[in-house]
Amino acid sequence: MSTLIKNGTLITASDTFEADILIEGELIVQIGKNLAHPNADIIDANGKLIMPGGVDPHVHLDLPMFDTVSSDNHYTGHKAAAFGGTTTAMDFVVLEMEGFAHSVDLWMKKAEKAAIDYSFHMNLTQFNNKIAAEIPSLMEMGIQTLKVFTAYNGRLRLDDGNIFKAMQIAKENGMLVMAHCENGDVIDTLTQQVLADGHTDPIWHAWTRPSWGAVDATLRVAGMAAEADASVYIVHMNAAGEVDMLKYARERGVKVMGETCPQYLFFTEDALEREDGAKWICSPPMRKEQDNARLWQGLHNGTLQTIGTDHCPFYFDGTKPIMYEGKEIAIPGKELGKYNFTKIPNGLPGIQDRMPILWTYGVQTGHITANQFVAYTSTNPAKIFGLYPRKGALVPGADADLVIWDPERTLKYGVAHSHQRTDYNLYEGLDLKGYPEKVFLRGKLIVDGEKWLGKSGDGQFLKRSEGEVL
């Protein structure tokens, strides 16, 4: 099957130009002006923009947490991603006691329903000699990333010595270490103190996870990476000081990269003081307006490398079902922590919202250019995580993951447009200008306006190799 997209304006991470794109089967085979093909389906993209499909490097689907599970699985979350222009998503495998192979097999089973292409990161939440010896086996499985935590004491956190050992092993095997940076000891101490004083409202989630702990942990992780000569990627950067530490380390040759997320660009901890503040509970929490501003500056000047979502949705009120694809479904959600902020499931919806929100409020406001938009949402994550140029590129030989973007479409955004399987949207009521019109996954049209043409099982697992340090 051949498809010829004509008269569009192509936007890549480096260039903007007018050209046609010829797709044969699953691949882009030719890009140029005045292309022709005797049997191709013709799509006229006059007045439209064409970009590589988004690559979301940070999602949590079907993730058990507290007494529930994140409400999007590898079908519903992927469907939502596609409507927002994302065609590749990277999820995190929970490390079970049985080891890496068993844990990956469990996640492969969950992902059999995938609707877009996907890959995995491995949560490294245990460490001993046996696990250390098995880490290289992940590369054989096509997984080149380990995620470590400096918080969640007694559950997910490794001590600094074991994080450093993991970095040394990663360096030897061409792997990348991802790091969740907060100060777990400070968080635990503050949490115990405020609960003892009877403070249980959502805002205390933010006030017990201070930004200085994130700044401290970011520099500490960068320092360990420097000593190990390893590559490290700081996930969901949310504080101004983290951007400062990233800049400081990179200027000194440390192979450290930074990701932020839309929620840290658009919201502050003030949202947690609202009556529905539980909707904004995530870890790490939102910060202050000066943090928003510094993150935008870090994107504008290229200090940061990617924008992921940390998509991990829960219902605001899981006692009430919502309609999803014609069926009622209810999943316990944030009401579980109605009387205690420590029991509110941590996470937000965002996999569909990322690209449309950033286009209107990032590109059109001048915070970032259209080329930076493509870099941060597609090309850079593809390069860092060993998928480029198969993903994140508009070049012959790349997968035909394409978004035809209508820059003139306007809409009032929110739950009515969202396919995320939850009962609220963080961006309810925002006016957008610019939205995906058609989305292709490996040459197959899976979103056509408001029509869903994809299906469960369309997605393929992507085995990754060593990525680039940007």
352 close to 420: Cβ distance less than 8 angstroms: yes
- Reply yes or no on whether the pLDDT at 1 is more than 90: no
pLDDT digits (tens, 9 = 90+) for 65-97: 999 999 999 999 999 999 999 999 999 999 999
225 close to 171: Cβ distance less than 8 angstroms: no
Q: According to the model, what pLDDT value does residue 289 have?
A: 98
CA atoms within 13 A on the CB side of 165: 15
Q: Could you tell me the fold of the domain covering 53-384?
A: TIM Barrel (3.20.20)
For the chain, the first-to-last Cα distance in angstroms comes to: 36
Round the CA-based radius of gyration of the chain to a whole number and report it.
Answer: 21
- Reply yes or no on whether the pLDDT at 386 is more than 90: yes
Range 218-230 burial, b when 16+ CB lie within 10 A, else e: bbbbbbbbbebeb
Range 336-372 burial, b when 16+ CB lie within 10 A, else e: bbeeebeebbbbbbbbbbbbbbbbbbbbeeebbebbb
- d(Cα 196, Cα 145) in Å, to the nearest integer? 39
The residue extents of the domains of the chain are 2-51+397-452, 53-384
- Reply yes or no on whether the pLDDT at 110 is more than 90: yes
Nearest to 325 by CA among 115, 76, 73: 76
- Reply yes or no on whether the pLDDT at 57 is more than 90: yes
Which residues are CB-contacts of 68 (< 8 A; sequence separation ≥ 6)? 314, 318, 331, 332, 333, 336, 345
Q: Domain 2-51+397-452: what homologous superfamily?
A: Urease, subunit C, domain 1 (2.30.40.10)
Side chain identity, residue 241: G
- d(Cα 356, Cα 333) in Å, to the nearest integer? 26
pLDDT digits (tens, 9 = 90+) for 243-252: 999 999 999 9
- d(Cα 91, Cα 80) in Å, to the nearest integer? 15
Claim: this prediction has a pTM higher than 0.95: yes
183: helix, coil or strand?
Answer: coil
Query: Which helix (H) or strand (E) covers residue 197, if one does?
Result: none
Task: Give the single-character DSSP code of 335.
Answer: G
Q: According to the model, what pLDDT value does residue 302 have?
A: 98
Q: According to the model, what pLDDT value does residue 452 have?
A: 98
